[in-house]
Amino acid sequence: MPDSFLKGRMRSVGIALRGLVSLFRSEPNMQVHALAALLVTGLGFLAELSPVEWILQNLAIGLVIGLEAINTSIEELANKVESRQDPQIKRVKDYGAAAVVFAAVIALITGGLLYIPRALSLIS
Ligand X SMILES: Nc1ncnc2c1ncn2[C@@H]1O[C@H](COP(=O)(O)OP(=O)(O)OP(=O)(O)O)[C@@H](O)[C@H]1O
76 interacts with ligand X by CB under 6 A:
no
8 A C-beta contact, residue 75 and residue 96: yes
Q: Which of 94, 121, 122, 124 binds ligand X (CB under 6 A)?
A: 94
Rounded Cα distance between 60 and 106, Å, is 7
C-alpha to C-alpha distances, 111 to 2, 32, 37, 123, nearest whole angstrom: 44, 16, 11, 18
Rounded Cα distance between 38 and 45, Å, is 11
24 interacts with ligand X by CB under 6 A:
no
82 interacts with ligand X by CB under 6 A:
yes
Query: Which of 4-12, 59-67, 84-92, 108-116 is the region at the interface with ligand X (rule: CB under 6 A)?
Result: 84-92
Binding footprint of ligand X on the chain (CB under 6 A): 29, 71, 75, 82, 85-86, 89-90, 93-94, 97
